[in-house]
């Protein structure tokens, strides 16, 4: 494929169903890439990601996966690619990988790649097995590269993806943007002297909010005189069962389930400590935001978190239990806030330049795999 003598035309395809890690990172990348490429974004749901793309003036197509079946979505993406004529198609998450790479091979046959934001959270069953098979087929035969957001994630993916196409590019943020327009949230105004400990994440099994609640119960028992206040920020299917767990453990009066908060960065900045007890992670955007805001982070020793917290190893928890996180929180409070410098490798500008370099390498590389392979059949 000849390298174009004009700005690259790049199409990103992303779900946009919620404002979560994959969408936040994709948007952060879009803000940087629009300075270097002509960008088109296709989202499969209206929502905050679509609204933010409109604010940036990005060429945007919003589909509706709740009303359109896979066939209709595929036809719509085909039309978008024909009209825009991208040099590269960049997909995010499983459904988007399949639809985007198939639409690409049916139309422009551009270079194609994906970002893998995290490991699988559950074992597929029934029709899910077919989607997983299709996703792996597309990765092997229709796409030329896969970005893993941490070295740990890359290692986990080696059984499913060709090793020579796996690239590690860490997520990135703009610390100045994260710190912009921070205000004091309601819970800090109402309880200014309390010790506010929080968790940010979807209320899904992998995030282990149950361990956070167990930790809260242990801290209330060990240090009953401390003015503890615990906060869970996020939505999900486990809300009612987690509320019941909190009630049974006697922490209901000290714990608040906030749901989605549009001022989440202000909430993180107001915490005395944030806890991330997930079973596994890629490289969470909330963790990067925590560091940028100077809020102490206690995290499970998993995914890209050990590299991110290399300067403060005591923040990493290997005893993956309520007691393990309780001990780490008490140690953190005893040590006090430590001043840290945000690592340059996790800047949004660094992330974007690495992605742009990968784009350029893919276009210069002889197309011996992916769409060109199918063209010869």
Shared-domain flag, residues 20 and 157? yes
User: Distance between CA 212 and CA 218 in Å, rounded?
Assistant: 10
- Number of structural domains in the chain: 2
- pLDDT tens-digit profile, the chain (377 residues): 455 667 899 999 999 998 888 899 999 999 999 999 999 999 999 999 999 999 999 999 999 999 999 999 999 999 999 999 999 999 999 999 999 999 999 999 999 999 998 876 566 777 778 888 899 999 999 999 999 999 999 988 888 788 888 999 999 999 999 998 899 999 999 999 999 999 999 999 999 999 999 999 999 999 999 999 999 999 999 999 999 999 999 998 999 999 999 899 999 999 999 999 999 998 999 999 999 999 999 999 999 999 999 988 999 999 999 999 999 999 999 987 777 778 899 999 999 999 999 999 999 865 444 443 333 22
Shared-domain flag, residues 357 and 338? no
Please provide the DSSP assignment of 143-171 as one string: -SEEEESSHHHHHHHTTTS-GGGEEE---
Q: What is the pLDDT of residue 370?
A: 42
Shared-domain flag, residues 144 and 248? no
Which domain, by its residues, includes 67? 9-172+347-375
Q: What is the pLDDT of residue 18?
A: 87
Shared-domain flag, residues 200 and 320? yes
Q: What is the pLDDT of residue 29?
A: 96
pLDDT, tens only, 87-144 = 999 999 999 999 999 999 999 999 999 999 887 656 677 777 888 889 999 999 999 9
Q: What is the pLDDT of residue 336?
A: 77
Whether 3 is in a domain gets the answer: no
Shared-domain flag, residues 368 and 339? no
Shared-domain flag, residues 242 and 371? no
Whether 229 is in a domain gets the answer: yes
Shared-domain flag, residues 228 and 150? no
Give the angle 221-222-224 at the CA atoms, nearest 5°.
Answer: 65
Q: For the whole prediction, is pTM greater than 0.85? A: yes
Shared-domain flag, residues 22 and 93? yes
Q: What is the pLDDT of residue 5?
A: 61
Distances (CA, A) of 158 to 153, 162, 165, 167, 304: 9, 7, 10, 11, 16
What would the two tokens of residue 361 be?
């390498």
- Return the number of other C-beta atoms located less than 10 Å from residue 332's C-beta: 21
Shared-domain flag, residues 230 and 138? no
Whether 126 is in a domain gets the answer: yes
The long-range contacts involving 101-104, CB below 8 angstroms and separated by at least 24 positions, are 101/138, 101/142, 101/143, 102/74, 102/138, 102/142, 103/74, 103/77, 103/78, 104/142, 104/371
pLDDT, tens only, 299-347 = 999 999 999 999 889 999 999 999 999 999 999 999 877 777 788 999 9
Shared-domain flag, residues 136 and 201? no
Q: What is the pLDDT of residue 366?
A: 55
Whether 1 is in a domain gets the answer: no
Q: What is the pLDDT of residue 131?
A: 84
Whether 102 is in a domain gets the answer: yes
In the three-class reduction of DSSP (H, G, I as helix; E, B as strand; rest coil), residue 90 is classed as strand
In the three-class reduction of DSSP (H, G, I as helix; E, B as strand; rest coil), residue 179 is classed as helix
Whether 22 is in a domain gets the answer: yes
Nearest alpha-carbon partner for 374 in 165, 107, 70, 158: 107
Shared-domain flag, residues 248 and 290? yes
Whether 2 is in a domain gets the answer: no
Q: What is the pLDDT of residue 267?
A: 98
**CATH number of the domain to which 230 belongs:** 3.40.50.2000
Q: What is the pLDDT of residue 331?
A: 95
Q: What is the pLDDT of residue 130?
A: 84
Whether 4 is in a domain gets the answer: no
User: Distance between CA 220 and CA 226 in Å, rounded?
Assistant: 8
Shared-domain flag, residues 74 and 130? yes
């Amino acid at each position: 494929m000849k390298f174009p003598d004009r700005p690259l035309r790049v199409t990103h395809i992303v779900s946009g169903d919620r404002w979560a890690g994959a969408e936040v990172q994709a948007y952060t990348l879009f803000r940087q890439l629009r300075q270097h490429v002509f960008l088109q974004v296709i989202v499969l749901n209206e929502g905050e990601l679509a609204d933010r793309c409109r604010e940036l003036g990005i060429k945007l197509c919003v589909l509706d996966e709740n009303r359109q079946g896979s066939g209709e979505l595929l036809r719509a993406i085909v039309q978008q690619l024909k009209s825009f004529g991208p040099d590269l198609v960049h997909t995010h998450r499983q459904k988007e990988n399949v639809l985007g790479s198939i639409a690409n091979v049916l139309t422009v046959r551009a270079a194609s790649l994906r970002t893998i934001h995290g490991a699988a959270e559950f074992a597929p069953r029934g029709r899910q097995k077919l989607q997983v098979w299709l996703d792996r087929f597309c990765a092997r035969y229709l796409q030329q590269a896969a970005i893993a957001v941490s070295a740990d994630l890359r290692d986990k993916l080696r059984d499913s993806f060709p090793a020579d196409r796996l690239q590690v590019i860490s997520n990135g943020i703009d610390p100045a943007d994260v710190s912009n327009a921070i205000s004091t949230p309601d819970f800090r105004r109402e309880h200014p002297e309390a010790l506010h400990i929080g968790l940010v994440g979807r209320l899904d099994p992998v995030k282990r909010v149950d361990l956070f609640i167990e930790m809260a119960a242990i801290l209330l028992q060990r240090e009953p005189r401390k003015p503890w206040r615990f906060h869970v920020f996020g939505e999900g299917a486990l809300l009612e069962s987690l509320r019941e767990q909190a009630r049974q453990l006697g922490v209901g009066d000290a714990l608040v389930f906030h749901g989605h908060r549009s001022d989440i960065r202000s909430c993180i900045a107001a915490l005395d400590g944030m806890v991330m007890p997930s079973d596994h992670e890629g490289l969470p955007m909330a963790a990067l935001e925590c560091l940028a805001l100077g809020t102490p982070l206690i995290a499970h020793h998993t995914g890209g978190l050990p590299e991110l917290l290399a300067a403060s190893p005591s923040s990493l928890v290997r005893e993956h239990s309520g007691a393990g996180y309780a001990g780490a929180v008490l140690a953190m409070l005893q040590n006090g806030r430590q001043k840290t410098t945000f690592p340059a490798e996790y800047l949004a500008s660094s992330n974007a330049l690495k992605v742009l370099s990968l784009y350029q390498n893919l276009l210069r590389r002889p197309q011996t795999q992916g769409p060109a392979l199918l063209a010869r059949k």
